[in-house]
Structures are given as structure tokens and as C-alpha cells.
Amino acid sequence: MPRLAMTSVSSLVCAAVLLFGGTVSVAHGEDLTDKEVLDRLSTRSPRDLALAKALAFLRSKQNGDGALGKSHKTALTSLAIMAHLAAGHTLDDPEHGFWLRKSVRYVLQQQEPSGYFGKKDGSRMYGHGIATLMLAEAMGTCSDDQLEREILRCLEKAVKLTIQAAAIPKDERYRGGWHYGPNDKTADLSLSGWQIMSLHATQQVGIPVPQQTIRGAVEYANRLTTDDGKVGYSAPKQDHPALRGLGMLCFAIGGELEDPKLESVANRIEEHPLEWRGPFFFYRVYYEAVGMSRSAPEHWKRYSNHLESILLENQNEDGSWPRPPSDNEGNHGDVYMTSMAALALAVERRVLPAYQR
């Protein structure tokens, strides 16, 4: 069975253990006394602390059935799981593994016989792509063979549907992309991004994906990116700020790191930096963090502190994030906003396939 090697993050694992005293077993079988744990925690960065608070908030929002959120629960639960995986927690985590396994099982139960994840909660191909990405990232992180087999079975069915949806005959301007429904003949980059990432992550854990599907998706994103760094939603020259980072990520997935368009997009992001305001703040902060850190590390060195400062300055005491001015994402709820912010903060750990250079 394919397995994804995860990097354990001892500082986060240790955080809750202080409540119980004694020693704690962390990565590589290392035992730490309370004093050693405290010494490590005292050196944690503000980013680490903000991320730990965000994850604690998300754990407090789990319903009895393992779901999170009030609507689009398949998608939101998957995002919250991914935030934990990105921070280095696995389904075997001694502190949070039970929480994670419960939420993963909830997501698995939402899949249709066709492999589709977007029907029961109404999240459509957004939710399908997010859930598929989460399962690919969760693969190999659990010692429960039965659960691992179920993750693999559902992941393979989901990926098959994603590949079939890409193969639906489309007009040239939409070819290679995805839209709201698996049988749609149109496409946009926002929806396509989750499918591209899910297929890439699936490849990373050893499940075959047709190269023409990945190549077609990358070419679709390339057609929406102009030479001067504008990234469109469904047509070139639209310049959608929240999708610039996604455009960069697509170049990285396609192995096109020398394409001059990539540098142009990175420059445009720095010339028009993120602000604490909408629209699409959380979508933008996620994709700028993932896309720039993965494909333009020199730009990311300059930009990461700016992104981090905005997130840390605006985090609530309970670990969540509020709605910024001119927001249009708040209707998705605090689980969505906090998960996206946490995923952005976790990019430096480079645990997940989407974050690895």
C-alpha cells in the first residue's frame, strides 16, 4: 500500500502533554521530561504558537459525528484535517489522532458510490477536490490497516471521477479544467486548482494518474496566466488577486519553474501585497503561501514575514480569525477561515506534498 512519509513536529505534539506531566514520547522514540518540554516550548516562534491556537480552536468545533462546520461539512472537515496534517500531526498522533480519525471517517462516509464527494453537503467539485486532496495527504499516516485500506479505496474512486471529469469534451478555452459539476463542459481556475493539487498529491503517494490529465490541467492554468503576471478566473487578463498564488503552484506542479510567467506573477504579488481586507482574503493568503513558498523561494523569503504579520495581528484570542473588512467569505464560517489561515502558517513545515519543493 502506498505510504506518505510525514515529518513529525515535536513542538506541537508536546503542547498538550504538559497538562499530564511525566514524560512524552516524540519523534524518533525520544523521551522528554517536563523541563525539556518546557525548554522546547519556550523557544517556539509566534508562528508556531498561532498555529497551535488555531488547531486547538478547530478541534473544539468537532461535532459528535466527526464533522466540522454548519454547512459544506465534507469540505470544511477536510480542510480542518489538512491543517493538522500540515502541522505535522498524523492519524496515529498520541494527542490528536483520535480526533483526526473520527473526522476522516466522517468524510469517508460522505462519498457517493460514483466516488463523488461533493453531493451530500452541496460543496460540488470544490468539496470533492478538497476531500480528495485530504485523503491523499492522510495516506500512510495511520497504523490502522483497515482505515488505511478504506482511505485508499475511497481515494482511488475519487481520483477516477476527477480524471473522468477532466476528460469531458470541452471548448478549447476550458480544456484541461474542471467546473462545479463532474459533467460540466466549462471550467474555472479556482475549482480546477483543488483538482490539480489532489491529483498531484495522489501521484506523490504512489497512485498512478494519467500524465495527460496533469499536463492538460497545467496547460489550462498556463493559458489563464499572462506574460505580465495576471492570473484569470476563467479568461486571461482578468487578474484575480486570490488566484495568483495558485497560478504559481500550477507552474511548479508542471515542472515549469523556469517559465518567465512565474517570475512575473511573483513580482505582481509583491507589487500588490496582501492586505487585511476582502474580497477572498483567506483564499488568497492560502494560495500565496503555498504557491510562492513552493515555486519562488527567494520571493517567499521577502514576502513570508509580511503574510505572517497580517495573520498574527488579526488572530482572535480563541485561535480563530474574524471576518476582515469587505469580506465575502465569512458565510463559510470560522472553521473555513481558521483552516485556511492555519494552512498558510504551516507552509514552512513542508510536510504535505503541496508544500514540498
Considering the chain, what is the average pLDDT of its residues? 90
Going by pLDDT thresholds of 50, 70 and 90, the confidence category of residue 12 is very low
pLDDT score, position 315: 99
**185 has a pLDDT exceeding 50:** yes
DSSP 39-85: HHHHT--HHHHHHHHHHHHHHHT--TTS--SSSSHHHHHHHHHHHHH
Going by pLDDT thresholds of 50, 70 and 90, the confidence category of residue 15 is very low
Q: What is the pLDDT of residues 105-125, one digit of tens each?
A: 999 999 999 999 999 999 999
pLDDT score, position 357: 61
Q: Which residue has the higher pLDDT, 287 or 8?
A: 287
Rounded-to-integer distance, Cα 352 and Cα 333, Å: 25
Cβ-contact 118, 125 below 8 angstroms: yes
pTM: 0.89
**16 has a pLDDT exceeding 70:** no
Going by pLDDT thresholds of 50, 70 and 90, the confidence category of residue 44 is confident
Averaged pLDDT, 42-51: 88
DSSP 124-137: HHHHHHHHHHHHHH
Residue % of the chain over a pLDDT of 70: 87
Going by pLDDT thresholds of 50, 70 and 90, the confidence category of residue 348 is confident
- In Å, what is the CA distance from 221 to each residue of 85, 87, 230? 27, 28, 11
Rounded-to-integer distance, Cα 54 and Cα 318, Å: 8
* Residue 168 DSSP one-character state: S
Averaged pLDDT, 168-174: 97
**251 has a pLDDT exceeding 80:** yes
**27 has a pLDDT exceeding 60:** no
Residue position matching grid coordinates 482578468: 238
Rounded-to-integer distance, Cα 194 and Cα 312, Å: 26
Residue 29 CB contacts under 8 Å (≥ 6 apart), including other chains: none
Going by pLDDT thresholds of 50, 70 and 90, the confidence category of residue 352 is confident
Averaged pLDDT, 25-51: 61
Averaged pLDDT, 268-278: 98
Rounded-to-integer distance, Cα 177 and Cα 190, Å: 10
* Domain covering 10-355, topology: Glycosyltransferase (1.50.10)
